[in-house]
Amino acid sequence: MGIHDLPFEILDEIIGATLPNGIESFALTCKDVYARAIPHIKRHHHLRLHWKHALITEKNALWATHELIRDPLAAEYVETLSMWDPDDREPHRDPALSKEAVASVRDMVLHSEYLEAAGVDTHAWWETMEADVKPFEESHMEAFFHRTIMLLTQLPNLKSLRLFPDWNELNLLEGGPESSKDILTVLTVIVRRANAQHKTGSALGKLQTILPCMAEGYEERFGLQSMHPFFGLRDMTELYAISCLAVDDQYTGIPFQWMMPGLSSPITRLELAYCCMDADGISALLKYTPHLQVFRYSHQTKWHGCQHDWNPGAFTEAIARHCGETITELALTIDELYGDIENGASSFLAFPRLQYLECDVLIFMGPPVESDQKNGMSGFSPRGAKLWTDVDIPCIGSMMPSSIVDIQINTNFPEPDKAALMALLKDIKWQRANRLKRLERVLIRQHDTDTARDLTKEMEIELEMFHEEDVPSSMVPLWKRNFRDRVGGIKFT
């Protein structure tokens, strides 16, 4: 029996089963199928328009959950979910739900297979979800956390997720409150089911990308720990974050702990802008990212002087120790540093596959770790040792592996880094001619000036003068502008 011979009722069922991903190709198989598919195609276009890129916040989360319960097919169309918008667009507000609508959401919660598998009290979960509380009250965020989790359990085809700033308030470390423990337990169940090879249609089973959900700024802080449960998802390959902290200083920082024993992350791209992390903090993550290929980081001193002094030397060594063998693209820049460079970066030879490097001159402007000297508030120097100065910075070429193709250096030349930049470039012509055979470009980038032109001409390298209206100097690095475009903008405070 051919498709032309099928009863219309059966053909309609087949066409409906091709939603959401197969209907466009199936409808073109023949005229008869296309004619029967027209109502389905109209529905397909409607659902894709309204749900493919969803903006759902605390103002409409309960309503959205009900809409997805009412039409489960709509949930299959959601591919990107933003729960915070850097441009402050308003989502559709919660219309008042009828008693029947509230009852349907309640029924979904009480019979959730995820809550049941997590062993949490479903009635208590629902009571938290339905609480009618005012914004800025602690219980208001508790309600939104619980609504968010139930929303996520409905999304099998979600590929990109942007959480919301207050997600940081979840204390997912050991010893956190019971409500956070319940949320972590449910998230763990979601991840476990999404990773099960035999499970199809599981919530978050296709999640690939986490996007930033915080503005930049001295007082903006988002614990890397709060995103930790998502790192174990099998398709999770890209993490973009702003204002994340991973520092355990017992005061201003927010520590990070890996809490998924026996599980590593498939992340291949990690881009962290306006963040505040030290070598120990980044190590706690990178030791579980064995497939990392792209790592980009910019440092910003945070609230109460967190990482007032920063150590890019130890930071670079930490990256190399855990991911040096796999990284092909690396960027290390500084947005705002209130203090000193404790130890500067001095070698990238532990990155044998590195092809692209972008950095600020400033990351080299401190004694190397191996010198046993250190700048800053906890600085020291061995008795009798010759004090390190900027002229002791090695040539950038001598720091590079033979795999390097593109080097970009951002500078405030001539002040305060004239001596540092000259030291970095002192033997670059010899290095290119004799050792770095794959090196295609060395570029120096300045902001609104070209005072380094004579030096770059002498060294036979490129100079770029960056200028963009109403853009802060922290956006001089090329990777930061690419980051901005990729994640949908950066909110400045």
pLDDT tens digits, one per residue of 132-185: 655 555 567 888 999 999 999 999 999 999 999 999 988 776 666 667 889 999
CA dist., res. 84 & res. 265, Å (int): 25
pLDDT of residue 415: 80
Number of domains in the chain: 2
Most confident of 92-106, 193-207, 452-466: 452-466
pLDDT of 88 higher than 70: no
Beta-carbon contacts of 352 under 8 Å, excluding residues fewer than 6 positions away, are: 324, 325, 401, 403
CA dist., res. 136 & res. 140, Å (int): 7
Which is higher by pLDDT, 131 or 277?
277
Q: Which amino acid is at 14?
A: I
**Contact call for residues 466 and 445 (beta carbons, < 8 A):** yes
CA dist., res. 473 & res. 233, Å (int): 36
Residue 414 lies in a domain: no
pLDDT of 2 higher than 80: no
Average pLDDT over residues 392-421: 95
Output the DSSP codes for 258-305.
---TT------EEEEEEEEE-HHHHHHHHTT-TT--EEEEEEE-BGGG
Residue 203 DSSP class: T
Q: Using N-to-C axis directions, what is the helix angle for 99-110 and 138-152, rounded to 10°? A: 70
Which is higher by pLDDT, 7 or 335?
335
CA dist., res. 485 & res. 89, Å (int): 18
pLDDT of residue 383: 87
Average pLDDT over residues 332-357: 98
- Rounded percentage of the chain residues whose pLDDT exceeds 70: 86
pLDDT of residue 1: 47
pLDDT of residue 325: 98
pLDDT digits (tens, 9 = 90+) for 301-326: 999 999 999 999 999 999 999 999 99
Residue 137 lies in a domain: no
Angstrom CA distances, 180 to 111, 149, 173, 251, stand at 21, 12, 9, 21
Residues spanned by the domain of 314: 208-400+473-487
pLDDT digits (tens, 9 = 90+) for 250-297: 989 999 999 998 899 999 999 999 999 999 999 999 999 999 999 999
Write down the residue that tokens 């947005």 correspond to. Answer: 335
pLDDT of 407 higher than 70: yes
pLDDT of residue 240: 99
pLDDT category, 48, cuts 50, 70, 90? confident
CA dist., res. 303 & res. 478, Å (int): 26
Most confident of 93-102, 245-254, 271-280: 271-280
pLDDT category, 414, cuts 50, 70, 90? confident
**Phi and psi, residue 296, nearest 5°:** -135, 135
Poorest-confidence range of 124-133, 224-233, 253-262, 333-342? 124-133
pLDDT of 464 higher than 80: yes
pLDDT of residue 454: 96
Q: Two tokens at 147?
A: 């609504």
Helix H or strand E segment including 71? none
Query: Helix (H, G, I), strand (E, B), or coil: what is residue 75?
Result: helix
CA dist., res. 2 & res. 363, Å (int): 69
CA dist., res. 84 & res. 413, Å (int): 38
**Contact call for residues 243 and 220 (beta carbons, < 8 A):** yes
Residue 284 lies in a domain: yes
Best CA proximity match to 241, nearest among 158, 342, 167: 167
Poorest-confidence range of 98-102, 253-257, 368-372, 414-418? 414-418
Residue 278 lies in a domain: yes
Which domain-ending residue is among 51, 67, 82?
51
Query: Helix (H, G, I), strand (E, B), or coil: what is residue 91?
Result: coil
CA dist., res. 241 & res. 138, Å (int): 25
Rg from Cα positions in the chain:
26
**Phi and psi, residue 294, nearest 5°:** -125, 120
pLDDT category, 44, cuts 50, 70, 90? low
Residue 330 lies in a domain: yes
Residue 367 lies in a domain: yes
End-to-end CA distance of the chain: 66
**Contact call for residues 222 and 243 (beta carbons, < 8 A):** yes
pTM listed for this prediction: 0.91
Angstrom CA distances, 390 to 120, 419, 431, stand at 58, 6, 20
Residue 382 lies in a domain: yes
- Rounded percentage of the chain residues whose pLDDT exceeds 90: 73
Angle, CA 283 vertex, CA 279 and CA 286 arms, to 5°: 135
Beta-carbon contacts of 84 under 8 Å, excluding residues fewer than 6 positions away, are: 57, 162, 163, 164, 165, 213
Sign of the Cα torsion 317, 321, 323, 328 reads positive
Output the DSSP codes for 10-39.
HHHHHHHHTTTTTHHHHTTS-HHHHHHHHH
Helix H or strand E segment including 194? helix 178-195
Which is higher by pLDDT, 129 or 311?
311
Q: Using N-to-C axis directions, what is the helix angle for 8-17 and 31-51, rounded to 10°? A: 40
Length of the chain: 493
pLDDT category, 450, cuts 50, 70, 90? very high
pLDDT of residue 35: 58
Q: Two tokens at 154?
A: 């409905």
pLDDT of residue 216: 97
pLDDT of 5 higher than 60: no
CA dist., res. 370 & res. 361, Å (int): 19
Residue 270 lies in a domain: yes
Task: Give me the chain's average pLDDT, please.
Answer: 90
Q: Two tokens at 438?
A: 């794959």
Angstrom CA distances, 412 to 263, 352, 375, stand at 43, 29, 21
Write down the residue that tokens 């890397």 correspond to. Answer: 224
